[in-house]
Structure 1
Amino acid sequence: MTYKIGDEVIIAAPSTKWAQQFKGERGTIVDIVDGEPYGFNVKLEQWSLGFAEAELVRADLVDVLDEISEALWIKAMEPVEDEDEDEVNHPSHYKWLPNGLEVIDVTEHLMNNLGNVVKYVLRAGHKTEDPLTDLRKAAWYIEREIKRLEAV
């Protein structure tokens, strides 16, 4: 992933012992120095520090994952209903997750391409015995999302 100045990030995987104290902090990329091992200068609450790209994760992605986690937790707490097979509304290859959670419960919280990636990965090996078609479709949606982001 390539970041740009102004992107909000979270320090996710600090690689040095000293940087561990900033794990989980949110900041904004204020400068990028190409070719430097810690070339992403991130403005935190009290500091401005350089980080490697691999140490960062997009804050909006974390926010979406938090929303999904909360929605999934709420869904997981609901009682499980014993339903007959319904290939249109509740096909079995989408409802194998615990507590009656369905793939749609996860994917509806994501943008279209990323939601489809998750959908095809989660159903791989459940709709048919061979997961390759679903995994290839997931890869197709990942490539489509990469091209969309590169065009922005």
Structure 2
Amino acid sequence: MTANFKAGDRVVIGEAGGYEPQAVANALYRGRQGTVTNVITEDGYPYPYEVTFDNGGPLGFAETELTPVRPEGQGVVEPRLPAAPELASRTVVSPEHYTSHPSGIECIEITQHMNFPLGNAMKYIWRAGLKHPDAITDLEKAKQYIEIEIERIREFA
């Protein structure tokens, strides 16, 4: 892979390309500026750019999601994009399908301590049959994320 950004570059997160996990993370960070802190140059890695935000930790992004921010004095600084409309128009709430567990624990209290594939699998298992009447759809999605995690473990074993 030829990297068009390098560690130390300032970037702003732009619009995602529609892939669900990418779009979710992108919607949360769209318009925010950060610094590229690591670049993975191996071919086939979906999010090779680690971006660290000024008031937060690092997150991986695809090149298509990043726009360079020009330094002061070198033309106009790239404009910040507005937050994703679906997030800007409402406050974040705790939906019932994530808070209805008899223990009183909210799903995110558990999944925040997991990596992305395991956290998503847990999320889909947690809400199976609650968000949509068809529990099988959520369980199939959970199965896909479990398979992704199994492949990840096998790859690095």
Q: TM-score, normalised by structure 2?
A: 0.39
Question: RCO higher in 1 or 2 (8 Å CA, sep ≥ 6)?
Answer: 2
Higher helix proportion, which one? 1
Larger Rg: 1
